[in-house]
Chain A
Amino acid sequence: MSHDDHTMPPSTLALRIKAIETLMVEKGKIDPGAVTEIVDIFQNKLGPRIGAGVVARAWSDPAFKVRLLENGTDALKEVGVSGLQGEAMIILENTPEVHNVIVCTLCSCYPWTVLGLPPTWYKSAPYRSRIVIEPRAVLAEFGVNIADDREVRVYDSNAEIRYMVLPERPAGTEGWSEEELAALVTRDSMIGTGIPLAASTI
């Protein structure tokens, strides 16, 4: 299956959504201009740098980390992160014993407020079907090799709950500022299909 396969030409798809949009505006369900605003927020304002800041904060501030793990939604509000698909956030801490990874097997639920929109592979049939049955093999394809004695936990989102992974702080970063730490936090390390960059990379 390819995401580029279409049963109809793109022009037909464009007509269908334009028809819906104009009808919704006429019926007063949607404000004119709101569509552009939403696209701008999701395409340009939200993104994994927000999540990276949260992770760096948790690495730097042990009390914040405790609050983040106890009640992700409330702790994120403290740092100004809330909104759609972030109403019930659970933060999963990676430890030497446990590696966490997130998926939405049914569709594509994703923690938009901290990571923005998901990459195409996250929404694809291969990732959604396989990560729950052979997570170690899928992670290895992403270059993440998990030792046999380390547990892998796969979290499947439901309609309300969104997960984000709190990766382990890289070695050799003692005394680093939050900004420096955030630069090591990759999007995939917060999905669980990656780990943060090594201290030596910056």
Chain B
Amino acid sequence: MRSIADMGGMQGFGPVNRAHDDTRFKAEWEAKTFAVNILSLAAGCFNIDESRYSMERMPPGEYLNTSYYEHWLYSLEDLLISKGVFSQEEYQARIAELAAKEDDHAA
């Protein structure tokens, strides 16, 4: 089956928006997602083909409705959990812990 990521030759996406010329990260989470990806590759947690294939398997609707670095974040979660670097439970617990800390700061 052709993946949504296989965009060459698809029609209907409209003109190229040249005004979107920025190369810099738009937010800290984008920069971190990029760097953690590079470092996970360097650490041998997965290889570049696995990384690309993971993004290609994103559900098409989700792929189109998420930003570029969200694709990277999706594949990081997918690969690190499926390869057992950490578990889904550990991950969810950590998110909850960090969120609670942020609420404390806000309170």
Contact = CB atoms under 8 A, between A and B. Distances in A.
A and B from one complex: yes
Q: Report, as a range, how many residues of chain A touch the other chain.
A: 35 or more
Contacts, number: 179
A129 B91 CA distance: 35
A91 to B, nearest CB: 21
B56 A106 contact: yes
Interface string B16-31: 1110111111011101
Interface in A14-28: 14-24, 27
B23 A117 contact: yes
A60 interface: no
A129 B68 contact: no
A34 B31 CA distance: 12
A198 interface: no
B9 A39 contact: no
A127 interface: yes
Q: Report, as a range, how many residues of chain B touch the other chain.
A: 35 or more
B104 interface: no
A86 interface: no
Contacts of A30: 36, 39-40, 43
B9 A116 contact: no
Which of A6, A24, A27 counts the most B-chain CB atoms under 10 A from its CB? A24
A142 interface: yes
Contacts of B17: 120-121, 124, 126
Interface in B74-101: 76-77, 80, 85-86, 90-91, 94-95, 98-99
A16 B65 contact: no
A43 B29 contact: no
Interface string A103-144: 101111000000011111101111111101100001001100
A17 B73 contact: yes
11 contacts: A10-B29, A14-B28, A23-B90, A24-B36, A30-B40, A43-B24, A119-B20, A120-B23, A125-B13, A126-B17, A133-B8
